[in-house]
């Protein structure tokens, strides 16, 4: 089943609870939280206190995408704050197996993220440990960037790797996903669809989410 993971990076931070409610009214079922540290990426966003603040305002799983150096140091704090899923960038994990185990040991679903220039082979040895693999379809750091078309082949290859290995991890895609790009990523095999700027817009959030999901479900051959 395809799901919309609405990215609150594009929401109005002064009204976060209302924004989350609108995205969910439109059909969003995963709350994607972009954590940036100003080191791994050239931007700073939010951390565990914001996760803790939004935890009571939604029943949706909180999907924390850590774009930070040294994620091991912060995994316990995200668990404590109420995160359900935590994904780490493969580029910063010297001991990736250990980091993924640490996430699982804290009762969260572990994911691994690959930047556009990182070969898929870098995660092959941990595919049986993850709940999801996140393919970045822009370079991380900012919302509203243009989708990188090469991502389609990467998603399709990852799906083949999953099928060949007989595994069932989910395939998440993030960056530049909008009404015009979502069908091709779904057809390639993605089923957790992150979108920020295509969803959050004053007065249009509910309709944007509904339209986005309509296109995604049609591409997946699902009846809605
Ligand atoms: C980018 C973030 C994304 C971002 C996507 O570094 O990881 O989750 O919010 O934003 P859009 O959907 O606007 O490309
Ligand atoms: Zn993200």
Q: What is the pLDDT of residues 50-81, one digit of tens each?
A: 999 999 999 999 999 999 999 999 999 999 99
172 within 8 A of 159, measured Cβ to Cβ: no
Q: How far is it, in rounded angstroms, from Cα 67 to Cα 164?
A: 29
Q: How far is it, in rounded angstroms, from Cα 204 to Cα 48?
A: 29
Ligand nearest to the CA of 144: 1
Measured from CB, residues less than 6 Å from any atom of ligand 1 are: 7, 9-10, 32, 34, 65, 138, 140-145, 174-177, 194-198
Nearest alpha-carbon partner for 165 in 110, 125, 120: 125
Q: What spacing in Å lies between the alpha carbon of 193 and ligand 1's midpoint?
A: 11
Q: Which atom of ligand 1 is nearest to the CA of 7?
A: 9
Question: Helices marked H in 26-122 — which ranges?
Answer: 48-54, 75-81, 96-105
Residue 39: what pLDDT? 98
Q: Kindly state the helix (H) or strand (E) to which residue 172 belongs, with its residue range.
A: strand 170-174
39 within 8 A of 69, measured Cβ to Cβ: yes
Residue 37: what pLDDT? 98
Q: What spacing in Å lies between the alpha carbon of 167 and ligand 1's midpoint?
A: 27
Torsion, CA 202, CA 206, CA 207, CA 210, rounded to 10: 150
13 falls in which pLDDT band (50, 70, 90)?
very high
Question: Does residue 173 register a pLDDT over 80?
Answer: yes
The one catalytic residue in 12, 34, 153, 180 is: 34
87 within 8 A of 65, measured Cβ to Cβ: yes
The one catalytic residue in 72, 174, 191, 211 is: 174
Q: Is 105 a catalytic residue?
A: no
pLDDT tens sequence across 3-12:
999 999 999 9
Q: Kindly state the helix (H) or strand (E) to which residue 86 belongs, with its residue range.
A: strand 85-89
Q: What spacing in Å lies between the alpha carbon of 204 and ligand 1's midpoint?
A: 18
Range 93-108 average pLDDT: 98
Range 190-198 average pLDDT: 98
Residue 223: what pLDDT? 79
Range 121-126 average pLDDT: 98
170 within 8 A of 162, measured Cβ to Cβ: no
Number of other residues whose CB lies within 10 A of the CB of residue 103? 28
224 falls in which pLDDT band (50, 70, 90)?
low
Range 145-155 average pLDDT: 98
Range 87-116 average pLDDT: 98
């Amino acid at each position: 089943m395809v799901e919309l993971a609405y990215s609150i990076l594009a929401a109005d931070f002064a009204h976060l609870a209302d924004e989350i409610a609108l995205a969910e009214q439109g059909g969003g079922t995963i709350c994607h939280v972009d954590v940036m540290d100003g080191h791994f990426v050239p931007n700073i966003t939010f951390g565990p206190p914001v996760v803790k603040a939004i935890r009571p305002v939604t029943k949706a799983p909180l999907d924390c995408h850590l774009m930070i150096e040294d994620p091991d140091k912060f995994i316990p704090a995200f668990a404590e704050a109420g995160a359900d899923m935590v994904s780490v960038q493969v580029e910063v994990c010297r001991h990736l197996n250990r980091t993924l185990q640490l996430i699982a040991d804290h009762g969260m679903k572990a994911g691994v993220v690959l930047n556009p220039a990182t070969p898929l082979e870098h995660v092959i040895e941990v595919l049986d440990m993850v709940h999801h693999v996140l393919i970045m379809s822009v370079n991380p750091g900012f919302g509203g960037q243009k989708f990188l078309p090469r991502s389609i082949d990467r998603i399709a290859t990852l799906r083949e790797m999953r099928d060949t290995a007989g595994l069932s991890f989910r395939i998440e895609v993030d960056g530049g996903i909008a009404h015009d790009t979502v069908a091709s990523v779904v057809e390639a095999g993605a089923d957790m669809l992150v979108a920020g700027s295509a969803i959050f817009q004053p007065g249009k959030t509910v309709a944007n989410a509904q339209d986005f999901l309509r296109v995604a479900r049609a591409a997946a051959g699902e009846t809605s």
